[in-house]
Amino acid sequence: MIEQIKHVNQLDYIVIGVYIIMLSVVGVYLTRFNKTSDDFFKGGGKIPWWIAGLSTFVSGFSAFMFVAAAGYTYANGLPAVVMFTSAFWGYWIGYYVYAKKWSRARLSSPMEFLTRRYSQSTTYYYTLLSIIPAILGLGLAIYILCIFIATSLGIISMEFNLGFVTLNGLEFTIVVAGLVLLIYTSAGGLWAVVITDVLQFIIIIIITILIFPLSFAALGAGEGILAGMRTLTADSPPGYLSLIEVLKNPIFYLAYITNTILGYNAAWYVGQRYYSVPTERDARKMAVLAGILSLILPILWIAPTMTARLLFPDMGAIWPELADPAEASFVTLALILLPNGLIGIAISAILAATMSSVDTQINYVASILVKDVYIKFRRSVTGMVPTERRQLRMGRITAFVLGVSAIGTALIVQRTHGVFEFALMYYSWFAPSLLTPVMLGFVYTKTPSWSGIASVTAGLIVVLFANVVLDVTAYQYQVNVFGGVLASGLVFWVSAFWKDKREEDIKRIETFRKDLQTPVLQTTKHLDANALNSYKIVGWLTAIIGAVLMVLYLVPASIEVHRLNLLIGSGTMFVGIAILLYFRRLTKEAMNKS
């Protein structure tokens, strides 16, 4: 099937261009939603739960799922299901514990939790530890995305003379993708992030609906999808469809699941979503929606990649220029199975996956720098709190600077290993130690104000010692995760033997404890104007995407009838969803007037 790989054409470029324009226009339009810094950083606490839930789900992965995770699945088979559905368990714990706690914390920025539960010094300490890794992570995400976008578009070896500088294809892709991020993230704030995340979700669903059946149909060699499933069962390499690898290396998989549970409850972007909805009941509904999607959709991405193992047994022959050719397995499926036009949508899906992750990080890091550093610094120096207008302007400037920094990092980053391995190690260095005091601090509030700093320091020292002094190469990821969690957790619990002596620390933590015991209930049945308008915007975006799919159905192409049926069916479905959103908005408007 290698000779059937298509190259993008003008139709694909048009589709990608339309998608990028939609992102930018939405971001600029949503500037009108932001009257205060709280609007910019938390949507005024009025974001509808289903929009916040979809945004939370989509923000939890990036091109990592279509690239690095695809490479792992191609090589290892069924054990990938254990790893990449583990977010379900994180959201399940979130439903029972952390959704309501983040909501009850009554925050305006994620790291405000650290100030309320521990101390202002803890917030500064975390900021110092988090900002550089966050920017490196942003750059890595953009780099992972763009190396495959540039390869798929066939421009990776081209040169682009911009007059003042000449860029190769990869650098040009990084700059364009980064500029789009800058436009809608720095302009529209969290409203732009969550609504464009819904757009990203729609694009990803389209590719899921198309690639899953088409990959099994291709493996069935003309005899249907069920024949393809039988072929996968019969012809897969030994152990490929079993969990033997999980049983052989349970500590690695347990470490991965542990790290995932930490991330999906204590990561700042997750907390930001939980307190951006009106009530704690909405926050729990968010967790249910994101959890269900995290269980079902990864399987629909994993299964096609497993067919690629049989369809393309030698990925190195297809992508010799890549360090880990298996990471291009999902992209290869799209380039072979989809007609031109839909290839543009597939590339947009991978673009969407990373955009949703990066825009989320930019917004919450900007909120930390403005709410937890800038405001408090200005107040300590001048004795005055900056006006809302100044805070909003500083938020946009900070988001812009973070975006530029991420672009610069992506341009200079050098990859020496496969993306999966590098990303895995990168997050294991920092996340376990940083997030453990957050999870524990919500459920146990009797440790002193300095326990957060002490806990995270202990975890990072253990991880540093293990990586620099000890030879733990064979078990580095497991040691990083469990070493960080156990050291941080142990110091946290031991610190409970000491009590705060300063009255202000005692009062602050006691106030926080009382807030965690006080439910956040619905105060009105009326929807906020921005929330009401969000139904209209999402409805229009869905209708436009459905219309694009139906237009692509009319484009002459030598593709089988079942592909056309999938295409027209998808387009009809999304137009139908747009109509449902329209009537839902009318219902909400009527409720507001009653």
- Is 50 exceeded by the pLDDT of residue 559? no
Grouping H, G, I as helix, E, B as strand and the rest as coil, residue 233 is helix
**What mean pLDDT is predicted for residues 336-343?**
79
Q: Write phi, then psi, for 397 (nearest 5 degrees).
A: -65, -45
Structure tokens at 414: 């050098």
495 in Cβ contact with 448 (< 8 Å)? yes
**What pLDDT is recorded for position 575?**
62
**What pLDDT is recorded for position 525?**
59
Structure tokens at 512: 């926080």
Q: Is residue 510 domain-resident? A: no
13-to-9, 23, 346 alpha-carbon distances in Å: 7, 15, 12
Grouping H, G, I as helix, E, B as strand and the rest as coil, residue 37 is helix
Strands 166-168 and 159-161: antiparallel
- pLDDT tens digits for range 35-51: 666 666 655 667 888 88
7 in Cβ contact with 336 (< 8 Å)? no
Q: Which of 131-135, 303-307, 335-339 has the lowest mean pLDDT?
A: 131-135
- pLDDT tens digits for range 175-229: 777 777 666 565 556 666 777 777 778 777 877 878 888 889 889 887 888 999 9
**What pLDDT is recorded for position 4?**
65
**What pLDDT is recorded for position 454?**
96
The band of 398, judged by pLDDT with boundaries at 50, 70 and 90, is confident
- Is 60 exceeded by the pLDDT of residue 591? no
Contacts of 44 (CB under 8 A, 6+ apart): 36, 38, 528, 530
- Is 70 exceeded by the pLDDT of residue 565? no
Structure tokens at 207: 């590719």
481 in Cβ contact with 258 (< 8 Å)? yes
In terms of Cβ atoms closer than 10 Å to its own Cβ (0-12, 13-18, 19+), residue 181 is: buried
The band of 558, judged by pLDDT with boundaries at 50, 70 and 90, is very low
112 in Cβ contact with 371 (< 8 Å)? yes
CATH assignment at residue 298:
1.20.1730.10
The band of 70, judged by pLDDT with boundaries at 50, 70 and 90, is confident
- Provide the residue type at 154 as one letter: G
- What percentage of residues in the chain have a pLDDT greater than 90? 24
The band of 468, judged by pLDDT with boundaries at 50, 70 and 90, is confident
- Of 400, 381, 485, the C-alpha closest to 435 is 485
Q: Which residue has the tokens 């999870």?
A: 439
State the total domains in the chain.
1
480 in Cβ contact with 430 (< 8 Å)? no
Contacts of 370 (CB under 8 A, 6+ apart): 37, 41, 109, 391, 394, 395, 398
Q: Is residue 464 domain-resident? A: no
CA 434/CA 462 separation, integer angstroms:
13
Helices 120-153 and 419-443 cross at an angle (nearest 10°) of: 150
- Is 50 exceeded by the pLDDT of residue 571? yes
With vertex at residue 466, the alpha carbon angle to CA 86 and CA 137, rounded to the nearest 5 degrees, is 50
The residues that bridge with 161 in the sheet, in sequence order, are 166
**What pLDDT is recorded for position 455?**
96
**What pLDDT is recorded for position 483?**
93
- Of 394, 417, 393, the C-alpha closest to 473 is 417
Structure tokens at 296: 């079902």
Cα-to-chain-centroid distance, residue 490: 30
| Distance, first Cα to last Cα, the chain | 61
The band of 8, judged by pLDDT with boundaries at 50, 70 and 90, is confident
197 in Cβ contact with 54 (< 8 Å)? yes
Contacts of 445 (CB under 8 A, 6+ apart): 117, 509, 512, 513, 516
Count Cβ atoms below 10 Å from residue 356 Cβ, excluding itself. Answer: 28
CA 97/CA 523 separation, integer angstroms:
22
Alpha helices in 327-418, H assignment, sequence order = 329-337, 342-367, 375-382, 388-412
Structural domain boundaries, residue 39: 2-421
Structure tokens at 117: 């539960």
Structure tokens at 242: 């079993």
- pLDDT tens digits for range 400-459: 887 787 777 777 664 444 455 666 676 788 889 999 999 999 999 999 999 999 999 999
Count Cβ atoms below 10 Å from residue 385 Cβ, excluding itself. Answer: 12
- Provide the residue type at 28 as one letter: V
176: number of CA atoms within 13 Å, CB side?
19
185-to-239, 354, 537 alpha-carbon distances in Å: 45, 13, 17
Q: Is residue 335 domain-resident? A: yes
With vertex at residue 395, the alpha carbon angle to CA 389 and CA 397, rounded to the nearest 5 degrees, is 105
- Of 82, 51, 98, 71, the C-alpha closest to 295 is 82
126 in Cβ contact with 142 (< 8 Å)? no
CA 143/CA 347 separation, integer angstroms:
15
Q: Is residue 569 domain-resident? A: no
- Of 386, 346, 413, the C-alpha closest to 170 is 413
Q: Is residue 478 domain-resident? A: no
Contacts of 221 (CB under 8 A, 6+ apart): 227, 228, 231
The band of 353, judged by pLDDT with boundaries at 50, 70 and 90, is low
- What percentage of residues in the chain have a pLDDT greater than 70? 77
Which carries the bigger pLDDT value, residue 26 or residue 80? Answer: 80
- pLDDT tens digits for range 260-314: 999 899 988 888 889 888 889 999 999 999 999 999 888 888 899 999 999 988 8
CA 392/CA 153 separation, integer angstroms:
38
**What pLDDT is recorded for position 416?**
42
- Is 50 exceeded by the pLDDT of residue 561? no
Q: Is residue 137 domain-resident? A: yes
- pLDDT tens digits for range 76-118: 899 999 988 999 999 999 999 999 999 999 887 777 899 999 9
Is the whole-model pTM more than 0.85? no
**What mean pLDDT is predicted for residues 475-489?**
92
Task: State which of 118-132, 267-281, 346-360, 484-498 shows the largest mean pLDDT.
Answer: 484-498
**What mean pLDDT is predicted for residues 529-555?**
72
Q: Is residue 445 domain-resident? A: no
Q: Write phi, then psi, for 167 (nearest 5 degrees).
A: -115, 145
Q: Is residue 444 domain-resident? A: no
Task: State which of 6-20, 243-257, 333-347 shows the largest mean pLDDT.
Answer: 243-257
How confident is the prediction for the chain on average, in pLDDT?
79
CA 582/CA 563 separation, integer angstroms:
29
230 in Cβ contact with 83 (< 8 Å)? no
The string of DSSP letters for 84-136 reads HTTHHHHHHHIIIIIHHHHHHT--SSTTHHHHHHT-HHHHHHHHHHHHHHHHH
Query: What is the radius of gyration, based on Cα positions, of the chain?
Result: 24
**What pLDDT is recorded for position 159?**
78
436 in Cβ contact with 484 (< 8 Å)? yes
Which carries the bigger pLDDT value, residue 14 or residue 116? Answer: 116
Structure tokens at 336: 């072979």
